[in-house]
Structure 1
Amino acid sequence: MVRFIGVELGKLLAALVDAGLHPSDIHLIGHSLGSHISGFAGKSFTDLTGHRVGRITGLDPAGPCFSDVIETFRLNVRDADFVDVIHSNAGVFGVTEPIGHVDFYPNGGSLQPNCPPAAVSCSHSRAWLLFAESVLRPQAFIGVSCDSWQAFREGKCDYQNLSVMGYGCQNGTRGTYYLQTGDGEPYGRGIEGTRFVNNEGLLRNIQNALGGPRG
């Protein structure tokens, strides 16, 4: 079904190009399964037109059934001129491995702050909340090039290599970036988010573990 929907969307986009839309102006944004639907739309569009769509943004692309498969069966860098990905629930509902030209892992990309363990979709949904905030606050989320979340926590990153995460991400950005967000809206911490703060969201996480705020 994911592939079918993507192929049909690709046909629609091809028809719009025939009507005058430029491929570089196409920006597909998909959350979870929608990320892979966008990927299949990009594949279909290229097959029909010989061109690539300008950009695909994957918001915590679905992991189950799409992890450890060949690229043609999921979103990949050949589906658009630029593919940027935000991971917020990697290893659970989202893919773990980097699959875009640039991949962002806010808060390590798996468990998001202020998401109680019982709220199974909280971390998975955080990706689109962060992206939505980035539309109105272009400099809210800044990531730093880093090899891993552990390296980020230890401050062992390339602080000369920063990138905006979200809507304002530049097409030429490449690599893997990490950042820390706040635990509530507004989530963006700007440049401060490139440095790990050990107690970020600590009180709320304790409250969640105990079953919610008391008193």
Structure 2
Amino acid sequence: MNPLKIFCFVAILVAAASASPRHGMSKDNSVTSSLKPSDWLSAAELEALPSVDDITLQQLENMSVEEGERMIEKAYHLSQINHSLRPSFTPSPSNVPVILMKSNGQPEQTNLNEMIEIVKQEPNFGNEEVTIFITGLPETSPAVAKANKKLVEAYMQRYNGLRQPINNNKDYEQSSDKEIATSSEEDYSESWKKPKATKGNLLIINLGATITSMKRLALLDVVQTGEMIGKALVQLTNEVDVPQEIIHIVGQGMGAQVAGVAAREYKRLTGHQLRRITALDPSKIFAKDTLTLTGLTRGDADFVDAIHTSTCGMGTRRRVGDIDFYVNGPHSKAPGARNVVEASMRATRYFAESVRPGNERNFPAVAANSISQYENNEGSGKRAYMGIATEYDLEGDYILKVNPKSPFGKSAAAKKQSTYHGLHQSWRSDKN
């Protein structure tokens, strides 16, 4: 039995042992005997156990959210208990697709090795905002393909200003919560709804195309991959004169974790920090070196914001940014999502909606540490807008509700909250 098979097998044993009192359990429900396979599973069940090699995105998409969450959580928690997995997969730069979206909306395809040469051919690249989108899953998944398409379309609209903004929530009922006006200036102004032209460039590092299986996702060397991308970003500055203060990295899933390392590598090599990293449902990291800082963390850029939509599935509930947004709270999934892949991709969909001109403030949120505090008006602090318009001076944990279908943003004033809970307070189950 290979290590990955053993890994998943023991994970299920551990989960079974903690699920209900059976053989070898004392009154306090603790395990007092060894975890013998026959204690928990039949021979047929043992034979049917899947390894990471056997799990596919298609399988996860065919499962309910709850089934997918259980499968991923079992594997993840064991990997953190005994560190049974070690990072062993790093894609070659020549195998990482890169797409430059040209000003006429046409894509120019290359790879990470050749990225600089393609960028040099684009007139005025780097004179305005530069957004670098690092994908986290392959587009063989319909949910991933749709989310990525929506984000690219949104940026093309933002940078070229060709279309009208999305119809804001007219087809869906408002929340039963009655919005209460605050003293914030924006409550009395409609000027923000007028789309403003923004110039910029979109560069897509399609890391997700190389993560073709759950095995690769689990074994991805986040540090080596991030350092590889970080060096490519340094080339943008050194050879194309792109200043760090106009670079915004948008990382999706595992791409968000890689973005943190890339930004640290950029700072190490240049002495300068990137402007912003936005994490779209940052992933759980299965395999990592316990002696090395792995993944995204606050401080990797001047401003780090994160949108969490699948904390019990493919995403992590761990705080990674200056400000972390939790849709429906830290223990919830994205409303309307049918499986864990779709739930994770909702973060990309929400961000894409906010990128479209006129929708920047579609996702109002308030500082709170749980959905119950939010619903009981016990949160406080300055109101935030999740997405492209998040202000850089904000910190802490923010909660919001969204619609189950597009348009997702409620586009209304956030509920007025009465008390203050502090910044980044911990909750007991913050383990992911």
The interval holding the TM-score normalised by the smaller chain is 0.7 to 0.9
Q: Hey, what's the Cα distance between the residues in 2 that align with 1:166 and 1:53?
A: 18
Q: Hey, what's the Cα distance between the residues in 1 that align with 2:279 and 2:235?
A: 23
Residue identity (%):
30
Letter in 2 for 1:143: A
Match of 2:278 in 1: 57
> Counting strand residues as a fraction of each chain, which structure ranks higher?
1
The alpha carbon displacement at 1:122 in A equals 1.8
* Secondary structure in 2 matching 1:4: helix
Match of 1:113 in 2: 335
The alpha carbon displacement at 1:130 in A equals 0.3
Q: Hey, what's the Cα distance between the residues in 2 that align with 1:194 and 1:107?
A: 14
Q: Kindly tell me: are residues 40 and 125 of structure 1, through their superposed partners in 2, closer, same or farther at Cα, counting changes over 3 Å? A: same
Match of 2:156 in 1: none
Q: Which residue among 371, 378, 383 is the counterpart of 1:156?
A: 378
The alpha carbon displacement at 1:71 in A equals 8.0
Q: Hey, what's the Cα distance between the residues in 2 that align with 1:112 and 1:36?
A: 20
Gap regions ≥5 residues in structure 2: 1-89, 91-221, 417-432
Q: Kindly tell me: are residues 100 and 66 of structure 1, through their superposed partners in 2, closer, same or farther at Cα, counting changes over 3 Å? A: farther
Once the two structures are superposed, residues 129-153 of structure 1 have per-residue CA deviations (whole angstroms, 9 ceiling, x without a partner) of 0000010110101110112222112
Match of 1:189 in 2: 410
Q: Hey, what's the Cα distance between the residues in 2 that align with 1:120 and 1:101?
A: 26
Q: Which residue among 260, 263, 273 is the counterpart of 1:39?
A: 260
For residues 58-207 of structure 1, the aligned pairs below 5 Å read 58-65=279-286, 72-109=293-330, 110-116=332-338, 119-136=339-356, 137-158=359-380, 160-192=381-413, 194=415
Match of 2:212 in 1: none
Match of 2:28 in 1: none
Letter in 2 for 1:7: E
Match of 1:16 in 2: 236
Q: Hey, what's the Cα distance between the residues in 1 that align with 2:405 and 2:307?
A: 18
The alpha carbon displacement at 1:66 in A equals 7.4
CA RMSD of aligned residues (A): 2.1
Contact 2:310 2:340 in 1 (8 A): no
* Secondary structure in 2 matching 1:191: coil
Contact 1:56 1:83 in 2 (8 A): yes
Contact 1:178 1:194 in 2 (8 A): no
Contact 1:107 1:180 in 2 (8 A): yes
Number of equivalenced pairs: 192
Segment of structure 1 superposing worse, 79-88 or 89-98:
89-98
Q: Hey, what's the Cα distance between the residues in 2 that align with 1:111 and 1:91?
A: 7
Q: Hey, what's the Cα distance between the residues in 1 that align with 2:292 and 2:281?
A: 16
The alpha carbon displacement at 1:77 in A equals 1.3
The alpha carbon displacement at 1:8 in A equals 1.5
Q: Under a length normalisation based on structure 2, what TM-score does the superposition of the two structures give?
A: 0.42
Structure 1 or 2, whichever has the larger Rg, is: 2
* Secondary structure in 2 matching 1:83: strand
Contact 1:53 1:80 in 2 (8 A): yes
Q: Hey, what's the Cα distance between the residues in 2 that align with 1:11 and 1:18?
A: 10
Q: Hey, what's the Cα distance between the residues in 2 that align with 1:115 and 1:77?
A: 28
The alpha carbon displacement at 1:28 in A equals 0.5
Once the two structures are superposed, residues 144-189 of structure 1 have per-residue CA deviations (whole angstroms, 9 ceiling, x without a partner) of 011222211222111x520111111111111111110011000000
Contact 2:329 2:369 in 1 (8 A): no
Once the two structures are superposed, residues 65-123 of structure 1 have per-residue CA deviations (whole angstroms, 9 ceiling, x without a partner) of 279x788211011211110000001132111121200000112243111123xx23121
The alpha carbon displacement at 1:5 in A equals 2.3
